[in-house]
Structure 1
Amino acid sequence: MNNVDPKSLRRSRLFLLLIALVFAAPMIVAGLLNWSGWQPGVKGTGQPIQPQRNFVDEKLPVRLADGRLYAWRDSEPRLTLVALAGPNCALHCFEALTGLAKARLMLNRSQDRLRLLYLGAPPTDVSRRAAMQTYWSLGSDVDGKLAEYRPTTPDSVSALLVESNGTALAFYPAGFDGPGLLRDMKKVIK
């Protein structure tokens, strides 16, 4: 009573195999690309901190302008963008710091999840210094443990993005791409 045509059975099996291949092909291609090391959209513009550092574990002291020590771990989970000024912070340095403060504002509702910490001598111009204090906490690296990230070029600034638990995520050397840094912040601040 089995009147199944072998030709139509083969055709049905072939269609079933083609349908399975249509669904499996993207996963196979993605697996091969991942295995080869290529992952789309994962790279940030900052340089990863290698070896990874945790400023809480290192007990890295930062003295704020009011004399208090900076708390890497905050009462609520917030990242810290640390700006490290090169020698003689003036116009270019101030413009970069203003750009970073604007980037924080562009986070919209999430801007409260990012703290801005400036380490170094503030700009010598009194009006610029006053404008900076509106957005930035001013401080100094007491033991010089962040010296390797500080630019040596006069009137420049570099940046570190630090997780709320004190882990340094990325380093942005002097001359960094501001919009790229904003994209990176949007990825980690949700």
Structure 2
Amino acid sequence: MSESQANATRSGRLKLVLIMLVFLAPIVAAGILTLTDWQPQGKGNGQPILPQRSFESVRVDVAGKPWAWRDSEPRLTLVVLPGPACAAECLKTLALMRNARIVLNRNADRLRLLYVGTVPTTADAQAVMADYAIGSGGEATFAPFRPTTPDTVSAVLVESNATALAWYPAGFDPSGLRKDLQKVIR
């Protein structure tokens, strides 16, 4: 074998080893991260609901019929819980939550808005509330999530299998909710 052939063979083997390392490196890195129990930390704006719970057995009536947590197609539900005396600030947050749904564009149908509580009676409330299903019931289940401060609102994001994913307590940033919805609903 001539020296040029030997150099070509070494060069070819080196390239093959480098290609194998490019594909092997992520697998080795994933194995190391798994062995060290590292978990990625998402930067969601809502608070995780721990322990996770299912709302499938929670009865909420909407227009005299029970709310179907498991819908005919996979859709999330944003359960909106007003505090006492929902007025101007509460209504402003409700409008921003509705807008967060609208921003989803073609995926807006994958999110249902469920308002559980006394409907606000201010003059501009009808326009905002038109996009919400108005429900009643589930008081015991929703009590830990419902705000106690007047003119506030909180929300619980519920997966299509009726599992509660995240809680947005009173005073949450609606733009953070919008960002979370855009991550979850694609």
**By how many angstroms is 1:135 displaced?**
0.8
**By how many angstroms is 1:98 displaced?**
0.2
**By how many angstroms is 1:80 displaced?**
0.8
Q: Which residue of 1 aligns with 2:49?
A: 49
Q: Which residue of 2 aligns with 1:63?
A: 61
Q: Unaligned regions of 5+ residues in structure 2, if any?
A: none
Q: Which residue of 1 aligns with 2:17?
A: 17
Deviates more, 1:70-79 or 1:20-29: 20-29
TM-score by length of 2: 0.82
Q: Which residue of 2 aligns with 1:138?
A: 134
TM-score by length of 1: 0.80
Quickly say closer, same or farther: Cα 1:15–1:71, change in 2 above 3 A. Answer: closer
Deviates more, 1:93-102 or 1:163-172: 163-172
CA RMSD of aligned residues (A): 2.7
Q: Which residue of 2 aligns with 1:174?
A: 170
Identity of aligned residues (%): 52
**By how many angstroms is 1:128 displaced?**
3.2
Deviates more, 1:116-125 or 1:42-51: 42-51
CA distance in 2 between partners of 1:157 and 1:23 (Å): 50
Aligned-partner SS, 1:135? coil
1:162 alignment partner AA: V
Q: Which residue of 1 aligns with 2:77?
A: 80
Q: Which residue of 2 aligns with 1:160?
A: 156
CA distance in 2 between partners of 1:102 and 1:165 (Å): 24
Deviates more, 1:177-186 or 1:145-154: 177-186
**By how many angstroms is 1:29 displaced?**
4.0
Quickly say closer, same or farther: Cα 1:95–1:143, change in 2 above 3 A. Answer: closer
**By how many angstroms is 1:172 displaced?**
1.3
1:101 alignment partner AA: R
Q: 2:101 aligns with which of 93, 104, 113?
A: 104
CA distance in 1 between partners of 2:104 and 2:121 (Å): 29
Say whether residues 1:185 and 2:178 are aligned partners: no
How many residues end up aligned between the 2 structures? 183
**By how many angstroms is 1:104 displaced?**
0.9
**By how many angstroms is 1:93 displaced?**
0.8
CA distance in 2 between partners of 1:95 and 1:33 (Å): 44
2:21 alignment partner AA: L
Aligned-partner SS, 1:76? coil
